Structure 1
Amino acid sequence: MSERDEAGLHALPIDVEYGGRELTITPAVVETDRGLVLIDVGPKTAVDSLDVHLQDLGYGLGDVWLIVCTHHDRDHVGGLAAVLDRVDAAVATHRDEAPFVRGDRAPIKGDGDRYAPVSVDLELADGVRIPTLAGPMQVVETPGHTPGHISLTFPEGGLLLAGDALVADGSEPLAGPKPEFTHDVDRATASVGRLAELDVEHTLCYHGGYVARDNDRIAEIYDELRT
């Protein structure tokens, strides 16, 4: 990662224009024996930057064999079709997110200008583990931001990839999900409580990147959200 590298795991911070504003997003990539697993892709405008990041690591988009989507929001998966035009990779997401990614249902958020739908090859459930060179990557169901939002943990390194279940782009180094972008605040709060129970030493957020904050801070956030 640019802020901090785990063995075989790299954050890919990208500056994009999205929704009429500039923001930094943080997809990630993890090395495996089969090639690369890409975690979220960003909007369509991020695809070339993804390729540049991977080339800097000695890879390219062609080395990606699996794309894991934490959820179906356009700033996370709007570039999926563009990536799949350039690489033959499988797409995985939670079973409750799959209808949105496939185009069976319209995205919950947004202005109706949906991204191109793609096929979903693997529907994920809580506890699924994917072997990687950074240790097993485990799916944790964290619904609320969207119905099937997932986070990912690397238990051997104490690392949490929070997706949008937590954010790190505000005045606090780590905070709860933003209510204005959260589909179900109560479920999102419960998901933060679940993350607080994990053995987390440090966190990577899609919005805000890497922060050296552990499950003690996540437990504080959970208490704050419940008051």
Structure 2
Amino acid sequence: MEILELPIEFEFNGQKNYIYPSLIILNNELTLVDTGYTNFLTLIENEILKNGYEIKNLKNIIITHYDDDHIGSLYDFKEKYPWINIIASEMESKYISGEMKSERLIQAEEMLENMPNEESEFGKWFIQQLKNLKHVSIDEKVHDGDMILDNKCKVVATPGHTSGHISLYFPSVKSVITGDAAVHENHELVIANPHFCLNVEKAEQSLTKIKRLKAVNYYCYHGGTLFVR
């Protein structure tokens, strides 16, 4: 089994940015973790191909949580590759499928009411981005402690950034895919964007939880991989 980070470069507000979805290779089958923003399908496809793998072997997509930079291209992947099995926590699946209004959208609408004028344009744009996300049904709903991917991957509930956020632990290779439960900053794991955490206290507890796993590799969606020596 192998885990690869997929560095995806893009521009936002004239600045160069990166995100790092993960690709899990197991028994010649591929599992992608998170799908970037809307219209990132080609960027991610190209990165997979660059690493010598074929998209026809993409069996699963795991979504750590409902945020536009993580599920933006999920609909496009499912449309283009309908055989893909989509996995998410039971709680997040309600937002991804459109069964319930997302927590992030509720939060953004509440924050807009108190935003100063100079920030409100961004707030309105962000709300529209969330409203434009296309809903996708989840094929496999998971819970804390579930073993998936031939029992090689343990689902770890890491609420705080969102209520149903999950991270993924791989005991055999001492690795964690963090989603937004942790970001890599200055050679450290820290919580992602505390200002947007739905529950900062739970986010801190989740960060402690994944640090206690004593992994050697932490694959962070923001900041890239942290290798713990």
TM-score, with normalisation over the residues of structure 2?
0.82
- Where does residue 79 of structure 1 map in the other structure? 73
Structure 1 residues 189, 19: closer, same or farther in 2, change over 3 A? farther
8 A Cα contact 2:22 2:219, kept in partner: no
CA shift, 1:142, in A, is 0.2
Structure 1 residues 103, 11: closer, same or farther in 2, change over 3 A? same
User: Would you identify which runs of 4 or more consecutive aligned residues in structure 1 move more than 3 Å?
Assistant: 17-22, 170-173
Equivalent pairs, count = 205
- Where does residue 127 of structure 1 map in the other structure? 145
Partner SS state of residue 85, structure 1 = helix
- Where does residue 211 of structure 2 map in the other structure? 196
Residues 150-189 of structure 1, C-alpha deviations (whole Å, 9 max, x = no match): 0111111111111111111x44543223211211111111
The correspondence of residues 150-189 of structure 1 with structure 2, limited to 5 A, is 150-168=166-184, 170-189=185-204
Q: Equivalents in 2 of 1:120, 1:141: separation in Å? A: 17
Structure 1 residues 143, 20: closer, same or farther in 2, change over 3 A? farther
The correspondence of residues 38-187 of structure 1 with structure 2, limited to 5 A, is 38-87=32-81, 88-109=83-104, 110-113=126-129, 114=131, 115-131=133-149, 136-168=152-184, 170-187=185-202
TM-score, with normalisation over the residues of structure 1?
0.83
Structure 1 residues 126, 137: closer, same or farther in 2, change over 3 A? same
Residue segments in structure 1 that go unaligned for 5+ positions in a row: 1-6, 215-227
Residues 25-74 of structure 1, C-alpha deviations (whole Å, 9 max, x = no match): 11111122362111111112321111111112332332211110000101
8 A Cα contact 1:166 1:175, kept in partner: yes
8 A Cα contact 2:191 2:207, kept in partner: yes
Partner SS state of residue 156, structure 1 = helix
CA shift, 1:85, in A, is 1.6
- Where does residue 27 of structure 1 map in the other structure? 21
- Where does residue 112 of structure 2 map in the other structure? none
Q: Equivalents in 1 of 2:128, 2:90: separation in Å? A: 22
Residues 84-121 of structure 1, C-alpha deviations (whole Å, 9 max, x = no match): 12112011100110111001223333414331001111
Q: Equivalents in 2 of 1:89, 1:137: separation in Å? A: 18
- Where does residue 221 of structure 2 map in the other structure? 206
8 A Cα contact 1:16 1:24, kept in partner: yes
8 A Cα contact 2:187 2:226, kept in partner: no
For the pair shown, which has the larger CA radius of gyration, 1 or 2? 2
8 A Cα contact 1:73 1:107, kept in partner: no
Q: Equivalents in 1 of 2:210, 2:40: separation in Å? A: 29
Residue segments in structure 2 that go unaligned for 5+ positions in a row: 105-125
8 A Cα contact 1:24 1:207, kept in partner: yes
Q: Equivalents in 2 of 1:195, 1:19: separation in Å? A: 32
Percent identity at matched positions? 29
8 A Cα contact 2:146 2:154, kept in partner: yes
Report the aligned-residue RMSD.
2.0
8 A Cα contact 2:98 2:135, kept in partner: yes
